[in-house]
Amino acid sequence: MRHFDHIDAALRKHLFFRHPRRFDRHDDPAVLAVALGATLYSPAVRPNLADDIGKAARAGVTSLVVCLEDSIADADLPAAEENAVRQLRALHAGALGGEAEAPLLFLRVRHPCQIGDLTARLGDAAELITGFVLPKFTAATGGAYLDVLAETGERTGRRLLAMPVIESRDAVHVETRRAMLRDVAELLAKHRDLVLAVRIGATDLSSAYGLRRPPDLSIYDIAPVAGAISDIVNVLGRADGTGFVVTGPVWEYFSAGERMFKPQLRESPFLAQRAAPLRRSLIVSDVDGLIREVHLDKANGLTGKTVIHPSHVSPVHALSVVTHEEYCDAADILGVAGGGAMASAYANKMNEAKPHRAWAERLMLRARVFGVAAEGVTFVELLDAAGSR
């Protein structure tokens, strides 16, 4: 699959200086972790789940989680498992329609035993599954999940990857957080070959204080949760070879209510592209808040995002494209072996070869899977194109 393959080839040629490269579930996990982009969550009880996955793929979704955990009532779990197995087997047996490929698919389980059981029940359809999302992950609970995942992979001959979710109360309470994250880091280091990315469960972290962020504030405005995110990145997202890709927390709004604050999107970039109707539609659906939060995710070391509605995918992916200016900066930085400082190619900043190198390396990996925008192409153009179908 390839990001932005759902838009017209001629338009892609206009938009990109370097086009996104293809990837599939067998690629290097370092590539896949960045390629996840906007990961769409779907409850396993959806009666037309296979069709939903096909529609999502044709609309540009490249990673999707079938959820058997918090989105499913306890009494509905057996039916949800049965539906997920039936729908995924149907998806495997049939075609998605058109030229779309199945996205990277994950199952979010609630018990370690579900990993082996569901893999067995899926049969040959298990080849659709890239891995499993492991909820409420701590060092005390996570070892059992990872052991079962490794055993299932060995038994079936399939590579199954883990995405642990940091969302327990120990992760947000200040007196337990740092020891808990240290222990999780040690556990994940022992199973590094199994870990694709670390996810953050902001809804559960907020619930420890009875909080829920409104759509016109970002998760970074919720101080107790923002502190937890900072420490999660500090311990688990380091750029020294010990860290992992850490993904952005869920954006859970898709329809606007009463607004307290002004819209968070400037008019001028949209007017310049004659895209004022696009700006209005983003504001009406509260996507301006999502766009701001994705900017803050990136600034704080997070990659990709959990989303719950297909309309969220194109903003996340448009913001994941590397700008021409960023690419020029990264290329200049990586082209210098001995360190030193230089003016940027755009003559608006200083680039330092040593301290900016880790940033440049990460950016080039994102450029590989999301591409580099052509000179002068803005986020507005990318979003307009990505959401046009």
Q: Identify the DSSP state of 19.
A: P
Annotated ligand binding at 267? The verdict is no
Q: Give counts: helices (H), strands (E), the chain.
A: 17, 12
- Please check whether residue 54 is in contact with residue 97, taking contact to mean a CB–CB distance below 8 angstroms: yes
Check whether 204 is labelled as a binding-site residue. Answer: yes
Question: What DSSP letter does each residue of 278-338 carry, written as one string?
Answer: HHHHHHHTTHHHHHHHHHHHHHTT--SEEESSGGGHHHHHHHHSBPHHHHHHHHHHHT-SS
Q: Give, in order, the Cα–Cα distances in Å from 260 to each of 166, 283, 289, 306.
A: 31, 13, 12, 25
Can you tell me the distance from the alpha carbon of 162 to that of 152, in angstroms, rounded to the nearest whole number? 12
Tokens 């939903």 correspond to 52
d(CA 152, CA 150): 5
Binding site members? 175, 204
Binding site members for Mg(2+)? 175, 204
